[in-house]
Chains A and B, each alone.
Chain A
Amino acid sequence: MSERYTIDELMVTTLAREFTNDTRAFNGAVSFVPVCAYLLARRTHAPDLVWAASSIAIDADPKSIPESTLSDGLWDGASMLANSAYDFWAYAQNRRYNTFAFRGAQMDACGNVNNTVIGPYESPKVRLPGGGGMADLSCMIPLIYLWSTTHDPRTFVERLDFRSGIGWGDGGDHRERLGLPGGPQLCVTNLCVFEFHPDTKRMQIRSLHPGVTAEQVIESTGFALPASDGDVPVTGEPTDEELRILREEVDPTGARLREFR
C-alpha cells in the first residue's frame, strides 16, 4: 500500500464512489466508515445525496464526527430533525430511503451478518451488542452495502452462529421469495472489494486493494471463493483531493479510526 494514504481512507473513498445523487441514506450505531463515505460523496460528486445523521438529522453537515454516530453531536446543520417512530420507519418501509450500510462480527458468503452472539444464543461464548435495526432495514432497503475492517477467517465464515441481518439469505432468489427488495451490492473490506455472483449471490472478488494478492484474500476468508479467471482488477486509489476533503473537512478528528483498533 502507498504511503500517501491509509486503509481507512481507501475504504471510505471506495465506498463513497458507489454513492450517487440518487443515494438516500441514513446511519445506525458505530457506522464511522459509511458516515465518512456519505459526507465525502456529497462533497465530491454527489451534492444531492441525502443522508440522515443517526437516521434523524436530514442533510446534517457536522464539523467533525463524535464518538457516537447515534448522537446529536452529528446533527449540526441539519435541515430537519425527523421523528423516529413515524418519519424514519415510514421512509424506510416505503423506500424513500434506498441505501443502508451495515456490518457485524461475522459475515457469510451471501452477505448475511451476525452481531448477536458467538456460540449458542442461550449460553454465548461472547455476547455481542445485538442486531439493532439490522434485521429490519436489511429487509426494507434495496441497496445494501457491507463493510468490514477485520478481514479474517473468524469474521468471514461459511456458517454464522446467528443471522442478525439478512443479505442475500440462502442465496439465489431467496430475497425475492420473501418479498424483499434488492440486496447487498458489495462488501468493502480492509483487503478487497467483494461483489456478489449474479445467480448464486455468493461473494467473489471484484477488486484487490493495492499490494494485496488473491491468495491472501482466499487465506483470510473462511468460505470458499470461486477461482478467478484472469487478472483481478486493483481497487482504485484515493485522489489527493478526496484525501484532503476526508482529512480536513469530513473527519478532521479521525473518528473513523475507532473502527480500526
Chain B
Amino acid sequence: MDSKLRSLEEAAETVADGSTIAIGGLSMNAAPMAFVRALARRKVKDLTLVAIVHGMPIEWLVAAGCVRTVVSGLVSLEGFGLAPRFRAAVQAGQVEIEEYSEHTLICRLQAAAYRIPYMPTKAGLGTDMLALHPDTTREQHDALSGEPYVACTPLPVDVAIVHAEAADTRGNVRVDPKLVWMDSELVKAAARTIVTVERIVPEASFRAEPHRTTYPRFTVDTVVEAPWGAYPTSCFPRYGYDGDFFREYVAAHTDPAAAQAFWDDRIAGPETHAAFLDANGGPRTLLSIARRTT
C-alpha cells in the first residue's frame, strides 16, 4: 500500500510554476502556513492564488515573489492592520488582484466541484463587482420568472492546500472538532489536494470513528505531518493565533530594513519548520497560544 506521506519540501516540489492553488482556512484561522512557507522558500513562480478571505499566507507568497494573481474577497490582517506587502505590490502593479465577493467565489468553486456550467446566486447584484469579470460572474434573468441572478462559472483549481487535525498515511483526514470554514469546497474543486496535519494517526483510528472523517482518502493526494502547522494563524481548538507575531510583523513594515530583517530571521530564513517555530519563540510562544481543551 503506497504511503501518501511526504515532507513539507517534497510536497512543495509538486506545485508547478504557473499553477492555480487554493489556500484553506480563513483570515486568522487554520491556514496551512508551514506549507506556505515551504512554497515561499522554494520560490515557485507565477502562481494564481485563490484565498477567499486571508492575510498572512498572501503576504508571504507575495513577499517571496511567487504570485502573479490573487483571487480573493478580502485581504487584510484584520484588527492588526492592512496587509502591507500585498497592498504595496498591487499599488506598484507587481501583483494583480482579481476581486470577487466571498460568495460568488464560493459559487465558482462549487460550480467547478459539481462540473456544472454555473452556480446561481443573488450575491453581487447592483454592485460593481460583476463588471470586474463579466465572463465569470454574469447577471442573467431566470427564463420563467424573469428574476435577476448572477451565474458564477467554474473556477478550476490545480492544487488545494488545507490544514487539519489528523490524517493516516493513506490520505484519510479528520478536521477536529468540525469543519467550519470553506476548505471542503476547495478540496472538491481542486484536481489535487495536499493536506498538512497536526499529527499522523493509524488508519484504525478512522475505522473506529468513521463519523468523524472529513475527507476520504480518494480525495487527498498528499499528506504532510506539520505540528503547529497553522502557526502563526490558529488551529481551533488546539491553539489560537499568535497576536505578537501579527503585531510585530505589522510594526516591522513601517521600515524597509526592519521588514527585510523580519522576513529573513522569522519567516523565510529558518531551514526547517522546527527552526521556524524556534525563531518565533519556540515552546514559550507555543505554550502561550495553546488553548485548554477539556
Spell out A's residues near B (CB within 8 Å): 29-30, 32, 56, 66-73, 75, 81-85, 89, 93, 112, 116, 121, 123-127, 129-140, 162-166, 169-170, 174-175, 178-180, 255, 258
Which residue of B75, B128, B237 contacts A162 across the interface (Cβ within 8 Å)? B128
CB distance from A142 to the nearest CB of B (A): 12
- Please tell me if the beta carbons of A180 and B123 are within 8 angstroms of each other in the complex: no
> Interface range on chain B: under 10, 10 to 19, 20 to 34, or 35 or more?
35 or more
A3–B182 CA distance with the chains assembled, in angstroms:
46
CB distance from B147 to the nearest CB of A (A): 5
Which residue of B101, B147, B177, B246 contacts A134 across the interface (Cβ within 8 Å)? B101
- Please tell me if the beta carbons of B78 and A136 are within 8 angstroms of each other in the complex: no
**CB of B83 closer than 8 Å to a CB of A:** yes
- Please tell me if the beta carbons of A71 and B123 are within 8 angstroms of each other in the complex: no
List, in ascending order, chain A residues with CB within 8 A of B93's CB: 123
**CB of B132 closer than 8 Å to a CB of A:** yes
- Please tell me if the beta carbons of A68 and B178 are within 8 angstroms of each other in the complex: no
Q: List 18 A-B contacts (CB under 8 A).
A: A30-B76, A70-B28, A71-B241, A72-B29, A81-B178, A81-B180, A93-B122, A126-B91, A127-B87, A129-B74, A131-B99, A133-B102, A135-B123, A135-B129, A136-B123, A164-B101, A178-B148, A255-B79
List, in ascending order, chain B residues with CB within 8 A of A170's CB: 126
Residue among B73, B79, B91, B182 with most chain A CB within 10 A: B79
- Please tell me if the beta carbons of A133 and B73 are within 8 angstroms of each other in the complex: yes
A112–B91 CA distance with the chains assembled, in angstroms:
24
**CB of B114 closer than 8 Å to a CB of A:** no
Sample of 4 further A-B pairs with CB below 8 A, known A73-B241, A82-B180, A127-B90: A70-B27, A89-B103, A130-B75, A179-B122
List, in ascending order, chain A residues with CB within 8 A of B234's CB: 71-73
Spell out B's residues near A (CB within 8 Å): 26-29, 53, 72-76, 78-80, 82-83, 86-87, 90-91, 93, 97, 99, 101-104, 106, 121-129, 132, 147-148, 177-182, 184-185, 234, 236-237, 240-241, 243, 246
A165–B73 CA distance with the chains assembled, in angstroms:
12
List, in ascending order, chain B residues with CB within 8 A of A127's CB: 86-87, 90-91, 97
A32–B79 CA distance with the chains assembled, in angstroms:
9
List, in ascending order, chain A residues with CB within 8 A of B125's CB: 139, 166, 178-180
Given contacts A131-B74, A179-B147, contact A84 B101 (CB under 8 A): no
A133–B103 CA distance with the chains assembled, in angstroms:
7
List, in ascending order, chain B residues with CB within 8 A of A130's CB: 72-76, 97, 99
A136–B178 CA distance with the chains assembled, in angstroms:
25
Residue of A nearest to B241 (CB): A71
A252–B102 CA distance with the chains assembled, in angstroms:
32
- Please tell me if the beta carbons of A165 and B127 are within 8 angstroms of each other in the complex: yes
A171–B82 CA distance with the chains assembled, in angstroms:
32
Which residue of B28, B103, B241, B246 contacts A136 across the interface (Cβ within 8 Å)? B103
- Please tell me if the beta carbons of B180 and A56 are within 8 angstroms of each other in the complex: yes
